[in-house]
Amino acid sequence: MTTLLLDALHEQASQFVDLRRDIHHHPELAFDEHRTSALVAEKLQAWGYEVERGLGGTGLVGRLVRGDGQRRLGIRADMDALPIDEATGLGYASCHAGVMHACGHDGHTAMLLAAAHHLAHRGRFSGTLNLIFQPAEEGGGGALRMMEDGLFDKYPCDAVFAMHNMPGWPQGRLILRDGPTMASSDYATVTLTGVGGHGAMPHRAADPVVAAASIVMALQSVVSRNIDPLQMAVVTVGALHAGKANNVIPQGAVLELSVRALDREVRSTLERRIKALVTAQAESFGVTAQVDWRPGYAVLVNTPEETAFARETALALLGPERVTLQGPALPGSEDFAFMLERVPGSYLLIGNGDGDSAGACMVHNPGYDFNDDNVAIGSAYWVLLAERFLTS
């Protein structure tokens, strides 16, 4: 049965490969995906989906209800491109200078549309299918914006799934993982205010440079002394700005921090300890500190039951040789994490190619391209997942 399904999705793949290349040729940055979302909406409507646009700006949902099944499934694809100058030399390379689909979101959109097409025409399911096309995954938090616009209130889901391509893995291999899978990413700006003065008379000043230097060193103790050694955590001071002249003690100093974790509790410990340590350190030097904490993406945690279901689906489609049952966690971030904080579900990877193949080029590289051979496999996976999930 799954061989027939793969054959069917292979047969219709070429039109969706063309569509993928068309989207690739016309990349759009976060919250600017007007052409892409119009294209997606037009297709879904033509196939009988009820479409709502304008969720989270350029996001949209296509809903298809069939039979009397009560279950509701959500599948998410992202649509945004990156501010990168494409250097692939491909015939369908970006027509917009400085903008490029370098993360394969063109492919994610095409895979979900290919599944949408098959499910509308030949899908055997009973229940509610919600196809979520989100804007601004690359740092803009498009998932959160869609949720703030009522995504899951208007389109309740019992589970939600998403797939990302991954260079360095064999083409078409499906990689699953339960538990924490991608890191949180938070940012902080620390502004130190002292008393400026003459470099020769430090006792008449309150030196923010010395305080900043001490804070940089003290921050190294947060990961080493406050976090369980078996947990992952990163505290990086990526920028430190202070002073202009060798004989002037400046008035202030600014530090920029990047903070990552793979566990929600570790993430909150990092925030608490960093704030406490910075404040106390500054005070000990007679300097005041203001910490502007900017929460970024949450830790992405795949729920066990839904991941087990996603795994069984992968095994049913491809067999054990082409499925990794528990892949590694990744230090990158993904805003699908916000959806998983609200609804149980799982985020999986599909290999984009390994070794010397073109698909092995890393995402966010100007030479990267989504592997079109994944359109059939990725869409077949979504079809099978929907048909297995939405049974009455």
Residue 80 CB, nearest approach to Zn ion (Å): 8
Contact call for residue 103 and Zn ion (CB under 5 A): yes
Binding string to Zn ion for residues 49 to 88, with x set by CB under 5 A, is what?
----------------------------------------
Residue 108 CB, nearest approach to Zn ion (Å): 8
Contact call for residue 360 and Zn ion (CB under 5 A): no
Residue 164 CB, nearest approach to Zn ion (Å): 6
Contact call for residue 278 and Zn ion (CB under 5 A): no
Residue 100 CB, nearest approach to Zn ion (Å): 11
Residue 334 CB, nearest approach to Zn ion (Å): 7
Query: Judged by CB under 5 A, how many residues of this single chain contact Zn ion?
Result: 1
Residue 76 CB, nearest approach to Zn ion (Å): 12
Please say which residue, 129 or 375, places its beta carbon nearer to Zn ion.
Answer: 375
Specify whether the CB–CB gap between 192 and 280 falls below 8 A: no
- Contact segment (CB under 5 A) with Zn ion among 25-33, 100-108, 118-126, 257-265 equals 100-108
| Cα 200 to Cα 307: distance, rounded to the nearest angstrom | 64
| Cα 314 to Cα 381: distance, rounded to the nearest angstrom | 7
- Contact segment (CB under 5 A) with Zn ion among 25-33, 95-103, 209-217, 264-272 equals 95-103
| Cα 198 to Cα 204: distance, rounded to the nearest angstrom | 8
Residue 345 CB, nearest approach to Zn ion (Å): 17
Residue nearest to Zn ion (CB): 103
Binding string to Zn ion for residues 3 to 42, with x set by CB under 5 A, is what?
----------------------------------------
Please say which residue, 103 or 190, places its beta carbon nearer to Zn ion.
Answer: 103
| Cα 350 to Cα 180: distance, rounded to the nearest angstrom | 18
- Contact segment (CB under 5 A) with Zn ion among 103-111, 175-183, 252-260, 379-387 equals 103-111
Residue 29 CB, nearest approach to Zn ion (Å): 12
- Contact segment (CB under 5 A) with Zn ion among 23-31, 102-110, 212-220, 348-356 equals 102-110
Structure tokens at 187: 């940012």
Interface contacts to Zn ion, rule CB under 5 A: 103
